[in-house]
Chains A and B, each alone.
Chain A
């Protein structure tokens, strides 16, 4: 009997995998077709899950159009009931595509989000900091027709010190590149620091509370906790992303960062804008 159950289980999982693959395939295929009606009909017939089929990806338009887009995106941001102060982009996929991530970062900043964090659980982005930075500057130029760091500026914050507060104030948006070491390891280091303070009689155990720990774990006094994390990829987990900071973070999953469009991002932001946080009440 156990063999029968196992067989049925295998069949079930094969079907689920096929289903998932079909959805991804359709998403990529139909994205390139102009006929939205056709893609919607097909979706309704074949795919039981609701999907968003973004418009055809824009090829590089003339400079006038780029400036127009920049203002449109800014206006989109203002039209939302609420916009996250700090958005996290959690890439839970094996191979990151730097161009797509750079696009996401640039769109987030254009829409008016002040802090953008990028995270993967292998620490790839941390190690390839400069490559990501180059890609973002390139896409800024490409998408928004902004040279260098005219309006949007990107600051990398790694274990910030107070002097970085001043640099941050001069920037409209701030980018943080995170890895698992910024999560539990940082909490452990804060614990060791507090321990040493007690050993040296600078503090007592009664002085250790949520507020003290929170200020130790904050990069800089002005950096807010992530309000929204967009998770890209099939794995349903935070994968070690900033455990302390995500107590009230909304999590929205998107299938993949590969070929992601502005419309994907904006519909996630719309979903965020409609959620209600009761904060325990």
Chain B
């Protein structure tokens, strides 16, 4: 399969994998695949060749992740900022992406066999129409698979993702401004169907996030490695996972604490909204403790129902966008 290299680990690799798996393993790993162009300069080949080798390395890394029982991987393939590059390079990357998605569609049987679900996160409207259509077909075709998940961030920046999430949140009038919470915003992001990444790896020695998953990685383990992406090895991956294991407990503690804080804030917000409601719509008589408790539970339930309806509508909108693209492609 072109997107996931076939093959198994050798004996030493298998042994190391089994040792690592005795400890806590990340379920979702994110990669910033940096260093393709520097690799091309180093090897004195064309830039485009660097990107092609980068894709091959991705296929190999996905194989390693599956061997290590990591079933969800998110990769930063193309940022909105990358449109600033020369026209030649951008066109080359779009062409590479198109070829890879076309190839993916040819391997549908394999994808079904391995249960691979492909998702593309980003503002697809910024891409050439034919690429949008290929992407839509790949995503729709693998939508129901659920053994492993590959999220490709294409035409993506985290800030756009957050701003778009908000824009749609208010557009439909399906929710009130007081319903907006951290949990709701998380569900509005492109990555709403995935848990937050446990581990974020950036290669090539740069130590920044470059507008990638800023919201989702606030409590993830960050590992910066100096190896260039096309030279990434199984041992680099193991090293990153070891870092994750060393940080596992303190991060778990920080995450739990954050979640508790969130729950408390939500509770307080619900109480404040209820007090507001009673003040405006009540009959002026103060409620006793039991009635107040009941009213609070009712309010919380109605808020959650509103939120569910809203999220359902959002999912429907996203699904329709992709389905419309595929029917356009079919007609063309």
Task: Give me the interface of A with B, judged by CB distance under 8 Å.
Answer: 1-2, 5-6, 8-10, 12-13, 16, 121-122, 180, 183-185, 187-188, 191-196, 198-199, 205-206, 208-210, 212-214, 234-241, 243-244, 246-252, 275, 277, 279-281
CA distance A180 to B218 in the complex (A): 10
Contact, CB under 8 Å: A213 / B163:
yes
Q: B17-25, B138-146, B276-284: which one contacts chain A?
A: B17-25
A-B contact list, 29 entries, CB within 8 Å: A10-B22, A12-B19, A121-B254, A180-B261, A183-B218, A184-B182, A185-B182, A187-B185, A187-B215, A191-B185, A193-B177, A195-B176, A199-B170, A199-B177, A205-B167, A209-B167, A213-B159, A234-B247, A235-B247, A236-B247, A237-B218, A237-B219, A237-B220, A243-B215, A246-B209, A248-B208, A279-B81, A280-B84, A280-B85
Contact, CB under 8 Å: A184 / B222:
no
Taking a contact as CB atoms closer than 8 A, the residue among A2, A13, A235 that contacts B245 in the complex is A13
Is B168 positioned at the interface, with any CB of A under 8 Å from its CB?
yes
Contact, CB under 8 Å: A240 / B219:
yes
Contact, CB under 8 Å: A236 / B163:
no
**CB 8 Å contact bits of B220-260 with A (1 = contact, 0 = none):** 11111000000000000000001101110011001001100
CA distance A194 to B168 in the complex (A): 11
Contact, CB under 8 Å: A281 / B85:
yes
Taking a contact as CB atoms closer than 8 A, the residue among B22, B157, B166 that contacts A5 in the complex is B22
Is B298 positioned at the interface, with any CB of A under 8 Å from its CB?
no
Interface size class of B (residues with CB under 8 A): 35 or more
Contact, CB under 8 Å: B22 / A8:
yes
Q: Which residues of A contact B251 (CB under 8 A)?
A: 235, 237
Chain B residue with Cβ nearest A235: B250
CA distance A167 to B26 in the complex (A): 47
Chain A residue with Cβ nearest B79: A280
Is B1 positioned at the interface, with any CB of A under 8 Å from its CB?
no
Closest CB in chain B relative to A37 CB, distance in Å = 28
Q: Which residues of B contact A252 (CB under 8 A)?
A: 207
